Every structure is written in structure tokens, then in C-alpha cells.
Amino acid sequence: MARRRDHGHAGLTRPLGRRSFLRAAAVGTVSASALGAVLDACTRSSGTATSGGGSEPIASGLPIERDATLRVYEWKDYLASSVLDAFTRRHADANVRIHVESFQRIDEAIARLAQPEAAFDVFFPTIDVLPGLIAAGTLRPLNHDYLSNVRNLWSWFNGAARPSYDPGLGYTVPYTVYSSGVGWRDDLVAPADAPDERDPFAILWDARYHGRLGVYDEYLEGLSLALLREGVADLKVATDDQLARAADALDEAVRVAGLRFTLDGAEEGLPEGEFVAHQSWSGDVLTAPRYAEEDHPGSGARVARQLRYRAPSAPGLVVGCDLTAICARGRNPVLAHAFLNHLLDFDTAMDNFAWNGYQPPLTGVTADAFADPSFRWHAAVPPNLRNAIISEDAFAGGQMLVGFGPSEQARWLDQWNRVVPGT
């Protein structure tokens, strides 16, 4: 099953998972100043910060460490157990084991990595904290001689100066990709009201579905959606006036259509029928039937048939990417490289996708592939959700909501707090 997240309702104690945390952190659960302080501590503990990090790549041609325990530090419920088991079987001749520890907040994770005993081998950073981790020497530069499966990645990740957040994949490899759009229930939304390519988010302002419409409780995602409706395509250069109009538009949706702000309304609220439409990351809408099956056995297939997804076309398409990296103080750097290579193996990545719903950016993972009954993972994506599989061209033409400095964040948060006070 996919990773669990806090439902945001009183009385429930489900853990706050990776994406719910990102939304909560972005609206104030983890302040930028607190995160900066942790990164500063990392830098002090690792010596003088340099743009190239604090370690060198390992030499080529080294054997895998024998009788070793690979220490993986992951977001909670992030990797399928079958993927971990397959890795130990693949390297059974070296008698390797895997020990997994989990975190729920990125500041918590960075603080843990700074501790002397935290000799993890593999870590899953976010793009926003990557520069600080590199400067602090927390991550080990990659030796691509051990990463033959990098060739399976989309060419976008291997082009000149690509990706912009980590040119040449010097410190990270991508784990999953996703787009941002809207998910809805086909059985609960009238055909005439269904999201279309021209204005996929219009339904979130529709008073006919009052109180059953949702947006992620995350300031970049929420305001971006409204900016796109206002005709602002280049989100990172939005002016104060444009941000103010976007906030006004969201406030109107709250007043007119009872728009709600949630952590997991897409992946859990849509299957439950609590929402008829909700802003959604593509992976969340693909995960939703699996949550339905877990909560109500036998309902997964029915929910899968009822769900729909639509994302804007470029340049208004918002995309994202999760990362995997190797820690500089890990004791098993060759084994760590082997694990990253394992995650980039096509079969391994697809087995993980079938579990967590988030797409690996590998050549051959296409909507057409899932339409082929002979494709081993054909059943993982229902026909009505194949458009949630993002193509390489669409991803390349989209924009990531990363790289916002403190002043930009402050401008966005000022407007967001007008709409969602107290966050």
C-alpha cells in the first residue's frame, strides 16, 4: 500500500507523511528560519561549507562492502518492502542487510543527519534543502560508474546543465515525478461541470458543489492555482498585485463555493466522497484507489472507475520531483551506489510505483504502456487515469515551485495568510 498521511481530522492518529508534511511545513509548521538554523548547524558540524560539498566521489571499481548493513533514512512509508527485499536478494552473495529509519519532517531529518552517530548511507532530500546539504558536506558526490541504470532516466535529466537544481546529477538521482492538477469524482460531478483543458480549476469556484471542493493547504500550490486562473503563466515572477488578485480569487471561492483547505483531500477525501473535486498531485489521484481499498476492502476498483484527473498544459503545468542521495558519512558508499542503481532499475521502479502511485521518470513509463494488456504493470493505472501519467515532454515544459528566496516566500505567505489565517 501507499504511504499513510495524517487525515487532518480530530481523533485520528495516522502519521504525517512526506507530502502532507510538505504542505504543512510550507504554511508554517516548519518555519524557514528554523530550517535555516538546522542547515547552519549542519554546516558547522561538517566543517567549512563549500559549493562542492565536503567529500569526494569514491573511486571506481571498488567491490561492494561484504557483511554490511545499508542504513536508509527515508520519509515514512516511502519504499515498498518488496523493493528492499529484492535488493538484499540481488546482493545475497555479499550477505548484505538493510536497516530503515523514517522521518516525517525535513528539519527533523536534517538535524538527525548532523548528529555524530547518524552514519546513514542513503537519504531522500527535497530540492529546496539540497543546496544547504551540499554546502554543508552532508552529501557525497556520486560516481556514475556505479550507476549504470541512470541510462533508464528521461533524457531531460541527462542533458546539458540538467537538471538545474543538480547539474549532471552530481549529488542526486530522481526518485519520482508528478504534476499538479485537479482530481474529481465522475459520478458526483455533472458532465457539463467537469474540468476541461481550457480552465481545469474552474470547478473549485462552482457554488453547486458548496463545501465539497478542496485545495491543498500549501501556499505555493494554492496561490499558483489561482494565479493560473488569472492568466499568470510564469509563476515565479508574479507581482504583488497579481498575488493579491490570486488571494482575492481564493477568498471568493471560500465565500461562494465553500472551498476547503486540506492535507489529503485528494487521496482520501475523493474516494470517501467527502469531496467531489480537489486540487491533486498526479500521484495522489493514482494512489486514491489503494487508500479506498485499504479503508474499505472491495471498494478500490469501484473508486478507480469513478476518479478523473486533469492538469493544465504548459507553460501553466506545475511539476515536481523527489530525490535520492548518498550521505557523506555513510560507511558503505559502494553499497549505497548499488541501492540508488537498484531504484533506477526498470522493474524495481515499476514495482515501487505499483505500491506508492508515484511515477518514476524512466523511459518506457508512458500512458500508452499502461494501455497495453501485455505490460506487466498494466493494471496499476485504470484507463480513466492514464492521463495522470506525465510524459517527458510535458514535464520538461512545466515549472517547479522551487528556488523561492525568503523575500519571495514572505510575499506569497502574506497573501496566503489573508485567505487561510492562522497558518
The predicted structure's pLDDT at residue 261: 96
Residues 283 and 324 in one domain: no
Average pLDDT over residues 289-301: 81
Cα dihedral 361/363/364/368 (nearest 10)? 70
Residues 307 and 225 in one domain: yes
Average pLDDT over residues 223-241: 94
Model confidence at 11: pLDDT above 70: no
Please report whether residue 5 resides in a domain: no
Please report whether residue 302 resides in a domain: yes
The predicted structure's pLDDT at residue 405: 87
Residues 373 and 230 in one domain: no
The predicted structure's pLDDT at residue 2: 33
The predicted structure's pLDDT at residue 77: 80
The predicted structure's pLDDT at residue 105: 87
Q: How many Cβ atoms sit within 10 Å of the Cβ of residue 58?
A: 18
Model confidence at 50: pLDDT above 80: no
The predicted structure's pLDDT at residue 21: 45
Its domain, for residue 184, covers 180-318+400-419
Please report whether residue 299 resides in a domain: yes
Q: Give me the residue label for grid cell 453547486.
A: 208
The predicted structure's pLDDT at residue 297: 85
The predicted structure's pLDDT at residue 337: 98
Please report whether residue 104 resides in a domain: yes
Residues 71 and 148 in one domain: yes
Model confidence at 29: pLDDT above 80: no
Residues 278 and 351 in one domain: no
Please report whether residue 9 resides in a domain: no
Which CATH number fits the domain that encloses residue 371? Answer: 3.40.190.10
Residues 306 and 358 in one domain: no
The 3 state secondary structure assigned to the chain is: CCCCCCCCCCCCCCCCCHHHHHHHHHHHHCCHHHHHHHHHHHHHHHCCCCCCCCCCCCCCCCCCCCCCEEEEEEECCCCCHHHHHHHHHHCHHHCCEEEEEEECCHHHHHHHHCCCCCCCCEECCCHHHHHHHHHCCCECCCCHHHCHHHHHECHHHHCCCCCCCCHHHCCEEEEEEEEEEEEEECCCCCHHHCCCCCCCCHHHHCHHHCCCEEEECCHHHHHHHHHHHCCCCCHHHCCHHHHHHHHHHHHHHHHHHCCEEECCHHHHHHHHCCCCEEEEEHHHHHHHHHHHHHHCCCCHHHHHHHEEEECCCCCCCEEEEEEEEEECCCCCHHHHHHHHHHHCCHHHHHHHHHHHCCECCECCCCHHHHHCCCCCCHHHCCHHHHHHCCCHHHHHHCEECCCCCHHHHHHHHHHHHHHCCCC
pLDDT by residue (tens digit) across 334-378? 999 999 999 999 999 999 999 989 999 999 999 999 999 999 999
Residue 376 grid coordinates: 506487466
Model confidence at 41: pLDDT above 50: no
Tell me the pLDDT band of 300, cut-offs 50, 70 and 90.
confident
Tell me the pLDDT band of 36, cut-offs 50, 70 and 90.
low
Residues 154 and 185 in one domain: no
Model confidence at 306: pLDDT above 70: yes
Residues 208 and 92 in one domain: no
Please report whether residue 10 resides in a domain: no
Residues 206 and 298 in one domain: yes
Tell me the pLDDT band of 422, cut-offs 50, 70 and 90.
low
Residues 55 and 105 in one domain: yes
Residues 171 and 196 in one domain: no
Q: Which of 22-31, 163-172, 196-205 shows the lowest per-residue confidence on average (mean pLDDT)?
A: 22-31
Model confidence at 35: pLDDT above 60: no
Please report whether residue 145 resides in a domain: yes
Average pLDDT over residues 135-148: 96
Please report whether residue 270 resides in a domain: yes
Residues 214 and 267 in one domain: yes
* Number of domains observed in the structure of the chain: 2
CB 345 within 8 A of CB 153: no
